[in-house]
Structure formats: C-alpha cells, structure tokens
Chains A and B, each alone.
Chain A
Amino acid sequence: MAEHSIEIKSLHKSFHLGKQSIPVLRDIDLNIKKGEFISIIGPSGSGKSTLLNMIGGLDSATHGSIHIDGVDIHKLNDKAVSKFRNNKIGFVFQDFHLLENLTVEENIALPLRIQTKRNSLSRAQKKAVTQMLKVLDLHERAHHRPYEISGGQKQRTAIGRALITNPEIILADEPTGNLDTQTGHQIISLLKAINKQKGITLIIITHDHHIAALADRIVQIQDGQITTKASTHKFTH
C-alpha cells in the first residue's frame, strides 16, 4: 500500500461576508502520495490557492481535516503549526515574495535562521546556503538585493529558500505566472528535477496546461469542488 503523505478528508472552507457565508471549498477529498507531483488547475476564484494555503497550514478549515504524515495540522497551535511549516513545507509564490531588505543569500538562509532562532548561521548551514546558491546558479548574485536581479533569478531564489530546510512538500502557487515562457519552463524543469531527485512531494497550481501535463496527476477544481482527479495520461487524452 502506497504511503499517503497528505490526506484531505471532507474539507470545507467558507468565508463570511457580513452575515453571508460564501463557500470556497466544498467536500474536498484528496490523498497525495509521498514524492508525488500534482498539478492543480481550475479557473480563477475556484479555490485552488485556498486549498494550497490550507495544506501549508496558513489557513484553517471550516470543516474536515488535513493530515500530513498522520498529523491533523489544523489541530496544531500557532507554535506547532509554524514549526511544521518551517520544517516540512516549502512555499513558492507567483510574486516570489522575497524580502527586499535582504540579499539573495540572506533570503535563502532565512528559514534556517527561523529554524535555529539564531542571528548567525552555523558553519554547516553556511555551507548548505553556498551549495544551494551554486545549484541554482545564483552564486554570483548572492549579495544582490531582489530588486537587482531578474524575474527568473528571483524565482530561483524563492525555490532555494523553499528547499534550504529540506522540506517534504513544496507548494508552488503559479510559480511561472510572472515569468516569460522560456524562464517559466526552466523553473518548472528545476522543480520537477527536485521532485524526482529528492523525492519531495510537489504540488503546483497552474493555468498552463503544458506545465500541468508534466505532473504525475492533475486535480481540477471548479466552484470549490474537485471535478477531476486523473493521471496526466488520462487527462491529456
């Protein structure tokens, strides 16, 4: 039996607008295996990002549960869920979300500082950051600020930041949305390579069907409900 890294059961999320309750996600059931590459597609406002944020413990469920490695993450307190995010999740955003007052190197090292709660990095951590900069071909940009580098370099910095703590899951919300096609493909190739080489579970939200097709499985969401959970092969044919 395949080991499920993520188990989502009867997940429901609604937002309140005054007295009105607006459902965003309805009865989501989804199991994701460890090391699986999943694409989530669907129209804007369908609830894709909400689902991703909930898997990452950034948002809580109205009903239902999300178990990651057997732990219901929505039952964790702020300290525990923060630790969970730091250790197990790596976020990659469409807008990169880098800290503008930190250099590329400092941005990548940030999750390590949060992990150890120290102002300075250990020798091993410094080595890991340098290694990451080399792998992502950012070593020449290490001391540049985000506003001094290109979009592709920004996204590679964000990927480096997401990977530096060796997380089990990478959650990427339209990681190529702000990049040109060529750079977008480079980024996706990089993420896919990480997924295959390190066995990290990769969940990507995308509007691009070509990118979606690269995943092991595609999940389509419409009006807050999963309409298709199919292997890439079935979906594309």
Chain B
Amino acid sequence: MHLHLALKNLTSKPSRTLLTVVAITICMVFLALFTAFQEGLRNYLFKNSLQTNPLTQLSIQPKSKKLGLNPLDLLPQSSLTPKIISEIKEIPHVTSVEAQNTVKGISSLQITMFGQTLQTDALIFGAPYETISSDQIDENIWKTSTDSLGTAANPLPAIISTHLIDLYNYSFATANNLPQLTAQNFIGTDIDIMLNQSTFFGQQNSGLPTLKARVVGFSPKAKLIGITIPSDTVQQLNKQYLNAQDDTFVDAYINVDSVENIQPVKQALLRYNVNISSGADALDTINSYFTVISIALNLIVLIMLGLAGLMIASTFLAKVTEKTREIGILRALGLTRRSISRIFLIEAGIIGGISGLIGFSGAYMLSTLADRIILNSISFIAYKPVSFFTYSPLLLAATIIFAIIFAQIFAYIPARQASKVSPIQALSN
C-alpha cells in the first residue's frame, strides 16, 4: 500500500521527480567515478608495488652519508659483506637472500637506435637469477659466465627497468622525434659498456676494453639508473678490469616464510645498521598519498552531496505542503502517522535508487571516455594500466544503497513533518 501510494505520488509530478533524480544522479556519478578512480589507481599502484616489493620480502641497503654534489660520492656507514649475507641467511624464517652488487664506479653506456646514438652515464648492477626469475628470462642465459664474456660474439645478458621505456618514450624519443617503443623493440638491443668512464664527470679513456651487452628482458626490480647483469659476472668484471677486491653488495632482498614473520626478521636485521624497507612500508606510503587524494576528491563530493541534499529536503518540504490535503484524506481513511511518513521515505528511496543506478551507469560511461582520452594522450608510456578505474558489483550495490539512504536522510525531516500534519487543518484547506 505504501509503495503503491509512493509510486502514484512520483508519477503525478514527473518533472519534479525528474529534477530531483537529476540532482542526486550528478552526485552519484561523481561519487562512483571518484571511488572507481581511487580504487583503480590504488589497485594499479599496489599491484606494481607488490610486484617489486612482495609483502613477504624485505629490502636492505647499507647506510651511507652524502659527501658532496656527486650523488655517488658517499661515505659508507655500514656495508653488506658476503659474511653478513651468510649470517642473514641463517636468521629464522628467512627462506632466501637475493644480494645485488654493482660494477665499481660509473660506466658509460652507448646504445644505437634508429641511426641515432645515445651515450649516458649509468651504473651496472648485478642480480642473482632469483631476483629476476619472475620475469621469465631463461636461467641458462643468465648463468652463462665465461672468460670471453662481453664480446660481440658473447654479449653480457642485460635486463633493464620496465620504467626505462616510459622514460625513453617520454623524453628521448619525443625530444629527438624518434618512434615510440614497446618492450619488444628493446629486446635484442646491443649496448656498449665503457667501464670507469663518465661523460658527466669528464672521466675519459680509461683504457679498458668496451664490453658488449644485449637486452634480454625487463624487470620492475631492475634499477632505473643502469642495466642489470648477473651478479657473478659483476664480481668477475670488478676483479678482472677494475682491480677491486671489495665484494660487498649494494642491497639485498630477503625473502621471509610468512607475512607474520616479517617483524621478527626486521628486528634481527637491526644489528647490521642497514636501511630496511618492506612491501608493507611501500603500501603504507601509497596509502598515505591516497589519504590526501581521497580527502580532496571526497571533499568535492561532499559539497555536491550537501547541495543535492538541500534540494531533496526543499523538494520534499514543498511536496508535503502541496499534499497537505491528501495527507488529511489519508489520515481520515485510517492511515497512521508512521505510514504517512513511510510513504514519503519510500518515495525518497525510489528516487535515490533510480539515481544511484543511473549515476553508476553514467560514471561507467564517463570513465570509459576518460580512459580513452587519457590512454591516448599517454600512449608513449609502455607500462600503463588497462583502465584507471575499477568497477565492481560491490561498487554498484554500494552506490545504489548509499543513494537510497542519502535521499531518505534528507527526506526524513519533511516526512516527519508530513506525519505531524493535523487531519482537521489539512481537510479544511
């Protein structure tokens, strides 16, 4: 009976119903859109973050102090020696340690692509196969280590950061009017490595032979400021060409058997005076950024909701005033005060529900359009999400339920006012 009367009321003034639906729909579009955007971006960043820093993995680096302008001019405060790495492997719950080393000093890398040669300073990192294994690079290629390594016939296997393609496409390719690249374009590219040379710091002609490397794959764990080759090869290069006896590591990934045991392992690592970061820390950082974004977006939605709420309240107050006579009739026919108020709340609920559904659909269509525009404009970025928005049945249900409750909250006072209408006064009107 309540639903029947509520529907009759809604259809009796379709233009006003439509106007209220439009007002709430606009809010719901933005609410769903912003929520889907936050969810989409968070999922994308979390996925990337967890790929680089799984929750069961810790990352450690020796502490150091900057000495001057040169970012590589550091005074070590601690170091990761093979002995320390061995000790860390013995810590309870540690399943494996993936230590990474680096070729001493700065190297100069030269890549020729599309007839243009790019020369840049970079570091050469060494990583065990376990670190990059997830990227499906053939283990045999990675473990090849012979005396003739680094020659044109037997180039060093190199992996580069997945983000380097973005950097190339965004800066170098755009600046030099070169074609955009995909990951596949890079595979097989030859790189000339000039050890102990720097264009930036003016270290030329080290007298060392130019080594050859070939890109075999990509990894999010590869460092952006250089290339990554097998760690055994790095040790070999240090000894053979740079006369370096120092076999310390620059960082290490420590795999722990479960998330619960991350904390005890962290505690055990404190005595080595190293910087420790975990996947959870990375997620916390992302979360803290998101708190700021969420506050800003939610503030916009809140203002819109406030305005729509006022519109609902004023529309329903006007409705109650207009329907005073009808309320009197219904009371005379035996409808209770509570039933009168329920009719108005059901009416508001229907308006909210319809608005929620249309709002969600509108948000979905808008985000499809936004995705198309954004993804087209950043086509040079290789590793971008398929969509910046994440929609789920849960979001659909939440939007509709929220819209219903929202409309009912703002219709509550008018509905209460309707229930208090005196039937005598109403009928005498």
Q: Classify the interface of chain B: helix, strand, loop or mixed.
A: helix
CB-based contact B1/A82 at 8 Å: no
Given A82-B334, A93-B427, A101-B8, do A118 and B1 touch, yes or no (CB 8 Å)? yes
Which candidate, A52-60, A67-75, A220-228, A229-237, is the interface stretch facing chain B?
Answer: A52-60
Which candidate, A83-91, A135-143, A177-185, A188-196, is the interface stretch facing chain B?
Answer: A83-91
**Which single residue of chain A is at the shortest CB-CB distance from B336?**
A82
* A128 at the B interface (CB under 8 A): no
CB-based contact A110/B9 at 8 Å: no
Interface residues of B in 294-342 (CB under 8 A from A): 325-326, 328-339
CB-based contact A114/B334 at 8 Å: yes
* Chain B residues, Cβ within 8 Å of A56: 332
CA distance A98 to B325 in the complex (A): 10
A148 to chain B minimum Cβ distance, whole angstroms, is: 15
CA distance A111 to B336 in the complex (A): 12
B331 to chain A minimum Cβ distance, whole angstroms, is: 7
Question: Which residue, B326, B329, B334, B335, has most C-beta atoms of chain A within 10 A?
Answer: B334
Q: Mark A108-120, 1 if CB is under 8 A from B, else 0.
A: 0011011111111
CB-based contact B336/A58 at 8 Å: no
CA distance A164 to B377 in the complex (A): 69
* Chain B residues, Cβ within 8 Å of A106: 8
CA distance A113 to B1 in the complex (A): 6
CA distance A56 to B329 in the complex (A): 13
Given A101-B12, A116-B1, do A87 and B334 touch, yes or no (CB 8 Å)? yes
CB-based contact A78/B336 at 8 Å: yes
CB-based contact B332/A91 at 8 Å: yes
* A79 at the B interface (CB under 8 A): yes
Which interface class (under 10, 10 to 19, 20 to 34, 35 or more) fits B? 20 to 34
* A161 at the B interface (CB under 8 A): yes
Given A116-B1, A119-B1, do A97 and B424 touch, yes or no (CB 8 Å)? no
CA distance A101 to B11 in the complex (A): 8
Interface residues of B in 182-238 (CB under 8 A from A): none
Which of these, A53, A79, A100, contacts B336 with CB under 8 Å?
Answer: A79
* Chain A residues, Cβ within 8 Å of B423: 58
* A30 at the B interface (CB under 8 A): no
CB-based contact A58/B334 at 8 Å: no
* A99 at the B interface (CB under 8 A): yes
CA distance A59 to B255 in the complex (A): 79
* A102 at the B interface (CB under 8 A): yes
Q: Mark A195-235, 1 if CB is under 8 A from B, else 0.
A: 00000000000000000000000000000000000000000
Which of these, A59, A86, A100, A116, contacts B333 with CB under 8 Å?
Answer: A86
* Chain A residues, Cβ within 8 Å of B2: 117, 119
**Which single residue of chain B is at the shortest CB-CB distance from A91?**
B332
* B259 at the A interface (CB under 8 A): no
Which of these, B11, B325, B336, B337, contacts A97 with CB under 8 Å?
Answer: B325
Which of these, A53, A82, A99, A119, contacts B329 with CB under 8 Å?
Answer: A99
B246 to chain A minimum Cβ distance, whole angstroms, is: 84
* Chain B residues, Cβ within 8 Å of A91: 332-333
**Which single residue of chain A is at the shortest CB-CB distance from B6?**
A119
CB-based contact B331/A58 at 8 Å: yes
Interface residues of B in 1-18 (CB under 8 A from A): 1-4, 8-9, 11-12
* Chain B residues, Cβ within 8 Å of A86: 333-335
* Chain A residues, Cβ within 8 Å of B329: 97-99
CB-based contact A114/B335 at 8 Å: yes
A145 to chain B minimum Cβ distance, whole angstroms, is: 10
CA distance A115 to B333 in the complex (A): 9
B35 to chain A minimum Cβ distance, whole angstroms, is: 34
Q: A91-B333, A114-B1, A119-B1 are in contact. List 12 more A-B contacts (CB 8 A).
A: A58-B331, A91-B332, A97-B329, A99-B329, A100-B12, A101-B11, A102-B8, A113-B4, A114-B335, A117-B1, A117-B2, A120-B4
5 pairs, A vs B, C-beta closer than 8 Å: A58-B427, A79-B336, A83-B334, A110-B330, A119-B3
5 tightest Cβ-Cβ pairs between the two chains A and B: A86-B334, A101-B12, A113-B1, A119-B4, A82-B336
